[in-house]
Structure 1
């Protein structure tokens, strides 16, 4: 049977008698197929088995189209390769964030793109019923070990494994820039109860400290990721409420090196270039006059939160 005919035959079987149930089944299969296609693309790129031009041709796209569609997704999926470094090096969040990110009346909260549970832990300790959704298996393993009281599930912002209107609030920490907003916004709105809230959170290094600025320059000498930490969201979400909290993450030289190693653009570097970068970061931390000889280092951060309410 020709590929086109096979595809139509499978689609007809899934749709059955049609109607909304048929459409729902078809949509679920399309989502599963797209997820599998992304995994195949990731395998090809990880093994350097195919160029973007070859991948585009296999998918009926141009090279540019394939790159636009998958390069960002593959970077988002790279964290599993550095899950240990992520858990060791990434900062948590200030306690004061919880009261602003989650309304007092909220009871069941979705931590979407939860990573290794840096924010999940705070949500659970605040007495909330937390579902943590994370697409990467290695990150989920770290998450489940770090926050055993959270319900950990596989899923993504584009395919959330929860029922309609089943949570009072959604929080997204350090992950919104990896989502496809055209799909994620209606999917998040679907699982939120009417009047529920969505909070988008980022930790941003405060580079007004001279040594932190030097660290940032080192980190970005090969690549720089520009992130909009004050996004505007479309309907059905209302006007944003914004908050900034300045604080310090107390860590060690090893912790800062691990933080650098966990960045997606560092994970993607060729191994020799990555090794040089991490060695240069370690040298900066060991020799900078503001840091030399310190067992603990206070890395300054600004935590930014944007909260919106579902109409």
Structure 2
């Protein structure tokens, strides 16, 4: 199973993705978006999890998403957002028309060289490229055990702590981590697990076995047994790159 197949798998699990995936702290967008921004572009937007945090912070928000099922769900949920077909390497937008281009949970699917070149083309001088990753905080015993159950060798590597992830003509490079807790009911939590690309592409029997293992962990661990909601701690890594004016 190739990285491309993993990247294109999300549309087949659009319901689980929208139901289970967490959003992002408003403070992330507050820090990323330049003052007085007009056009904000969210790339690899999925069903609009990060797109929502950009609303109201610019005169226009454009969502770029290659998967038609994901894009259709985003358009239905966020009718004020212009949703277009495209990728990090090919955005259907004019040169120098965006004040910020963001990749939330999507940069690891992009060819870095092509993505930097395209973001540079689309951004206005002084604009911001933002890379965002929600990463589960596995410092507690329960979170560590969850990671042991669901992580697979074929999971896509996310370079969320790599300060050199982006080259090109960016004059400033900053990295900040936002710690927060996402609370969701049991069914949403299970959908969060099932919406991961390497789980989506598993054979049905293996996916069902993984779900049973997660349910057993929820039922047996003191931190989660008998609880109606599941508290999932996150550390959201945010990289902000400022384009030379």
Which of residues 75, 83, 92 in structure 2 aligns to 1:144? Answer: 75
- Deviation per CA, 1:200-259, whole angstroms, max 9, x where unpaired? 000000001211111111001564433110342111123311110100001011111101
Deviates more, 1:203-212 or 1:224-233: 224-233
Distance 1:182 1:222 in 2: 25
Select which of 9, 16, 31 maps to 1:78. 9
More strand by share: 2
Which position in structure 2 is the counterpart of 1:135?
Answer: 66
Deviation per residue, 1:252-295 (Å, 9 max, x gap): 11111101111111112121111100111122112211111111
The structural deviation recorded for 1:125 is: 3.9
On the 8 A contact 2:108/2:156 being kept in 1, the answer is no
- Structure with bigger helix share is 1
Partner SS, residue 239 of structure 1: strand
- For 1:178 and 1:156, the matched residues in 2 are separated by 9
Aligned counterpart for 1:94 among listed residues 25, 32, 43 = 25
Match of 2:108 among 156, 173, 177: 177
* Bigger radius of gyration: 1
Find runs of 4+ consecutive structure 1 residues off by over 2 angstroms.
125-128, 221-226
Structure 1 residue runs without a partner (length 5+): 1-44, 46-70
For 1:165, the equivalent position in structure 2 comes to 96
Is contact 2:23–2:50 with CA below 8 Å preserved after alignment? yes
> 1:256: which partner in 2?
189
5+ unaligned residues in a row in structure 2: which ranges?
Answer: none
Q: 1:117 to 1:102 in 2, by over 3 A?
A: same
Match of 1:303 among 212, 226, 236: 236
Count of residue correspondences? 242
Q: CA RMSD in A?
A: 1.4
Structure with greater contact order relative to length (CA < 8 Å, sep ≥ 6): 2
